[in-house]
Each structure stands twice: as C-alpha cells, then as structure tokens.
Structure 1
Amino acid sequence: MGRLRDWLYVQNTGGRLTTLLLFLPPALMIFTLFAILPIAESGLYSFYNWNGFVPLADGGRWVGLRNYEQILGHSVFHQAVWNTARIVIISMLIQLPLAMVLAMLIASKSAVNNVFRLIFFLPFILADVVAGLIWRFIYDGNYGLVAAITHLFGLEPFYPLADQSWAFNAILVVVVWKYFGYHMMIYIAGLQSVSDDLIEAAKLDGATPIQIALRIKLPLIWPAIRLSIFFSVIGALQFFEMAVPLVQSGGPGGSAHTIVTYLYEYGIVRSRVGFGSAVGVILFLVCVVFAFTYQRYVMASHK
C-alpha cells in the first residue's frame, strides 16, 4: 500500500507539473504582452513630452514630473475627478437602492417576474455606444423627446447636453438607466439563495415584509451587495464608451469630462501621448489602491 500511495503521489504531482508547463507560459506571455508591458510603457511615456507619431528617441523630450504637475493643477481634471465621484455617489444613493427594491419585488420565480426582469435588464444588454447614441437623440433639443416635451408645453427649445450646468446631470440619468438592471440581477441571484423556510418562519413569528427585508434578506445577501458596490465603483472609474457619443470633447467647457474621457481628449485627440500616459498612470494607481483596499477591509473581513 505504501508503494502504491507513493506511485499515485508521483503521478498526481507529475500531472500537475505537466499542466502548469502547458498552460502557464502562454497565459503569462499574453498577460505580459497586453497588461504588464503597456502599463510599464505608459509609466515611461508619462515622463516625456511626446506626440506618439515619431519614435520616442527622436521626438520625445524628457520633462520629468511636469506632466503630473500640469494634470494636478488643471481645473478640467479637477472637474473630471468630481464628475467621476458623482457617478459613484449617484450609484450608491439611487442606482443600487433602486436595483435592490426592484430585486425584492420580482425575486420570486414566476412568468410575470421573468418578463419584468427582461425589461429591466434590456438596457444593460445594449452596447454602451449604442445607448449613448439613443440618448443623444432623446436629448436633442430640435428633434428628440426633449424637443417634443418643450414643444408640447410651449417652452423655448432646451439642449441639455449643450448646457454647462445640465450636461453631466443628463449623463447621470443615462448611467442609472443603463446599469441598474445589472445590479438588480446580482441582487436577485442573492435573494434566490435565501431559504424559503427561513422566510416562512419569520412570517409565522409576525414579521412584516419590511422587517423580513431589512433583518433577514439584506444581511444574508451582503456578499452580493459588496460585489455590486465594487463593480459600481470600478465602472465609474472606467466610464468612457457611453460618454463619448453623448458629449464629444467633454461637453461645454469640459464640464462633462470623466477621468477616462479627459485622458482620451487631452492624450489621444490632442496627440499628447506623454500627458495622456500620466493620466493613465494616475487612474491605474487609483484603481489598484481601491481594489486592494476594498479586498482587504471589506471583502476579506466579512467572509
């Protein structure tokens, strides 16, 4: 038996080693080519004034930390950071609570609830660019839904996306509409794992629906809520595709920029690759710090 056990151990170890040798090098190579190297190159480019059209050695000029100084002192970047924070705030205060309420209402399995789930989830299925183009037409002050409303009430034409005080608020409406269904489905998955016997026992004890929701369902689906919050914050930090069709060049006076659209406008459109790389490095560090901090103090501490 001892020899057989040793032989099986050797075979099992050898099989794992073979699997590692076959699958690990290609995965590491792909990750290095498409993640590690671009990040490292962005870090290098961020110290140069470079347009990206000629080799760095020929057309790049070393500027040290000047790009970072210009970014941190740029009022448009401050607005972009605040707009990104506003997406997070609106998600926490409106989008996620709305998703939770709807999930509570249609979590039970039935044909009618399945229809409502499909309706509420449909906006998330749309590509971000398509959703942006649809809402750009809706907000059009000449031909869209806003134009129809203003014409119905005899008001002056109104152009939300061209108004400095309204442009980003209009984007926030689209963000809530587009993504609340995604978070709703996460909550529904968590709610369906709650035992029906537990709910029935609470009802027999005289608990009201609100008490059941607050004291039984919410604590039991806390892992799903944590995951939803994480996706919401990371999504806000990376918000880009839907904003470009809505407000090209960051809207009036740059008032509708997020961090990523700021990077795109000042780094790519204006051919300032070094400057844009510095913005990318800052965004990367923010995402990494948030991810590790959230994992350490929120996800890991409530397992």
Structure 2
Amino acid sequence: MAVTTIEAGPAEISAGPAPAAPRRASWRKWIEITVFAGPALLVYLTFVFVPVGLAAYYSVFNWNGYGPLEDFIGFDNYARALTDSVFLNSIVHNLIIMVASLLVQGPLAIGIALLLNRPMRGRTFLRLAIFVPYVLSEVIAALAWRLILQPDGAFDSMLESLGLGSAAQLWLADTSIAMWTLFAILSWKYIGLAIVLFLAGLQGVPPELTEAAQIDGATWWQIQRHITIPLLGPTIRIWAFLSIIGSLQLFDMVWILTGGGPANATSTMATYMMQFGFQRSQLGYGSAVAVILFFISLAIALVYQRTVMRRDLEGAVTTGAS
C-alpha cells in the first residue's frame, strides 16, 4: 500500500494596505473639537488675551487715551504704581477683604448650610430668601444700601426707634468704619452663593455614614465635624478659590457705595485703576495698574491651585483617565 506524502509549504501572507478607519477617526475628532471648542476659544482670545495684550502695550506709554502712542516711557508707570502709597494701600484693602471673606463668610455659610440641610418648616423659603441678595444686580444693591446708610437714613431711623440712636455713625463716610461697613454689605450680597454651593455639596454626603455614626452614639456636632465637613472639603476649596479671585477683582459694589473713599479708606486695585485711567485720563498708567492686577490674580490663583486644590485636580484627572 503506497503512502502518499504531502508537503505543505509555508503559507504566503500578503500584507494589504493599512485600514484608513483610524485616520478618519482622528480627523473626525479634530473636526469635532474645532467645531465645538473653536467659537468659545475665539471669544476667550478676543475678550481676554487681546485686552491683556493691549493693556500691556499701552502701559509702557504716557498716554491719555487720545492721539497716537508716541511718548514711550518703558516701565515708569509700573515703578510709579508700586511706589504709590495709595495703590499699595489698595492692595492691602483687597487682601483684607479676601482674608475676612475666608474667615467670616466661610464658617458662617457652612453653619447656615448645615442648619438648612436639616428637615424644617419653611426650609425652601429660607433658601430662597438667602439667595435673593446674590441674584440682585450689584448696582441696585449698592444704591439701595447707599440710601439706607446715608445720615438720618432708614438704618439710623431704625436704631433711633430701638433706643440706640447714639450708635448711629457715618457708616460710609467715616474712615475708621467705612471698610467694615463695606465688608458687611459684601457679606450680605455674596454669602448666598456660598450657602447654595455648600448645600449642593451636602447632597453628595452619603447618608449611610451619618446613620452609622448615629448608631455608634455620635452627637450631631461630632457627625458634622468628623464626617460632613471633611467630605465637604472639595466644595469649600472651590468656593474659597472663587472668593479669593472675586476679592482681588472687587470693583462695582465699592465704586457705587464709596468710590474708594472716604480719603481712599475703601479703595481697591480696580477702583484705583478706574480713578486714574478714566477719571484723570491717564490711560497708560491705568493700563499698568490693570496689568499688575492681572498678574497678582494670576499668581495667587496658580499658587492656590498648585497647593490647596492639587489633590482635587489630581483626583479629577485620575477619574477621567480611568
């Protein structure tokens, strides 16, 4: 019986052209990014980077806003601003408002949010009433408080009706109390945003942790201190970041209430810039102040993000990557 041996040679595999699907997907991805992010990026460049660049350009000229830019003075405007006691005091005022906001508004907002997070009658109305001042226009709120706090105004009349007429002050005209009066108004105006943010953050606290702590015999305060507030940390850090940037760029409420007075007691970097840049027609100098304000805000924001918010940002990147 013959046995037939079949030798199988190596299979020849011909490599065809690479599929074009990944390349088309890459182009499609970039087209989608361009279509959706392009307009927003264009608006951002137009209204943020271009004005900053123009301000930096104007700041090296002695220019009143009219005519060509011919009187080049280099960094003299910056040297003038950084050696002006009024401007340096304005920076101090911004820092005072920033620190006071963190130390006063933050704990007060957390306390109110914790109380409003508990079941009670009229909770919805209270939340709405607290948030109303933030919704009001800055111009309307500032004008209203300016009328209320004027001499013999509504606030002084209320004090007098309560038998506290001797406590009446020149609330916005006394250099010793104008700053603290301003801070009280700012707290009334912006604390509603902090409370709403904290209430939203409290919704993310798992109720199982609170129930377990209650079973273990923990008091309400111990639960808030050791469970709720630590879990509210990311929301607190985000609010603090917004508060810091808002305090550095504070302008409208101060400008309408006091104009930076009396005797520059409530001046901020933004009101100082407006006073010299527009009221005194020193646009070159005002642009230099604007650039200084920009870099101070940028430096503080970067330091805050790299230190305080570093853990939150790393967690967000890790979550997104996974």
1:207 is paired with a residue of what secondary structure?
coil
Aligned partners of 2:228, 2:19: CA distance in 1, in Å? 49
Structure 1 segments (4+ residues) deviating >6 Å: none
Q: Which residue of 1 aligns with 2:175?
A: 164
Q: Which residue of 1 aligns with 2:306?
A: 296
Q: Tell me if the contact between 2:159 and 2:167 (Cα under 8 Å) persists in the aligned partners.
A: no
Q: Which residue of 1 aligns with 2:87?
A: 77
Q: Tell me if the contact between 2:159 and 2:168 (Cα under 8 Å) persists in the aligned partners.
A: no
Letter in 2 for 1:214: R
Structure 1 stretch 180-189 or stretch 67-76: which is displaced more?
67-76
When residues 17 and 200 of structure 1 are mapped into structure 2, their CA distance, relative to the original with a 3 A threshold, is same
Q: Which residue of 1 aligns with 2:32?
A: 19
Offset at residue 10 of structure 1 (A): 4.1
- Note the 1:273-292 alignment, pairs <5 A: 273-292=283-302
Q: Which residue of 2 aligns with 1:55?
A: 68
Offset at residue 154 of structure 1 (A): 4.9
Aligned partners of 2:172, 2:273: CA distance in 1, in Å? 20
When residues 155 and 280 of structure 1 are mapped into structure 2, their CA distance, relative to the original with a 3 A threshold, is same
Letter in 1 for 2:204: S
Aligned partners of 1:132, 1:174: CA distance in 2, in Å? 8
Say whether 1:211 aligns with 2:222: yes
Say whether 1:32 aligns with 2:8: no
Say whether 1:102 aligns with 2:112: yes
Which structure would you say has the larger Rg?
2
Aligned partners of 2:117, 2:31: CA distance in 1, in Å? 45
Cα deviation, 1:229-256, whole Å, max 9, x if unaligned, reads 10110010111111111012x1111111
Aligned partners of 2:173, 2:295: CA distance in 1, in Å? 33
- Residue segments in structure 2 that go unaligned for 5+ positions in a row: 1-15, 316-322
Structure 2 counterpart of 1:86, from 96, 101, 104: 96
When residues 245 and 150 of structure 1 are mapped into structure 2, their CA distance, relative to the original with a 3 A threshold, is farther
Say whether 1:183 aligns with 2:172: no
Cα deviation, 1:192-228, whole Å, max 9, x if unaligned, reads 1111111010001011111111100011111001001
Aligned partners of 1:157, 1:109: CA distance in 2, in Å? 39
CA RMSD of aligned residues (A): 2.1
Aligned partners of 1:181, 1:26: CA distance in 2, in Å? 32
Task: Give the length in aligned residue pairs.
Answer: 296
| Structure-2-length-normalised TM-score | 0.86
Aligned partners of 1:66, 1:202: CA distance in 2, in Å? 63
Aligned partners of 2:218, 2:167: CA distance in 1, in Å? 53
Q: Tell me if the contact between 2:59 and 2:286 (Cα under 8 Å) persists in the aligned partners.
A: yes
Aligned partners of 1:104, 1:23: CA distance in 2, in Å? 39
Aligned partners of 1:45, 1:31: CA distance in 2, in Å? 21
| Structure-1-length-normalised TM-score | 0.91
Q: % of aligned pairs identical?
A: 35
When residues 11 and 209 of structure 1 are mapped into structure 2, their CA distance, relative to the original with a 3 A threshold, is same
Q: Tell me if the contact between 2:139 and 2:256 (Cα under 8 Å) persists in the aligned partners.
A: yes
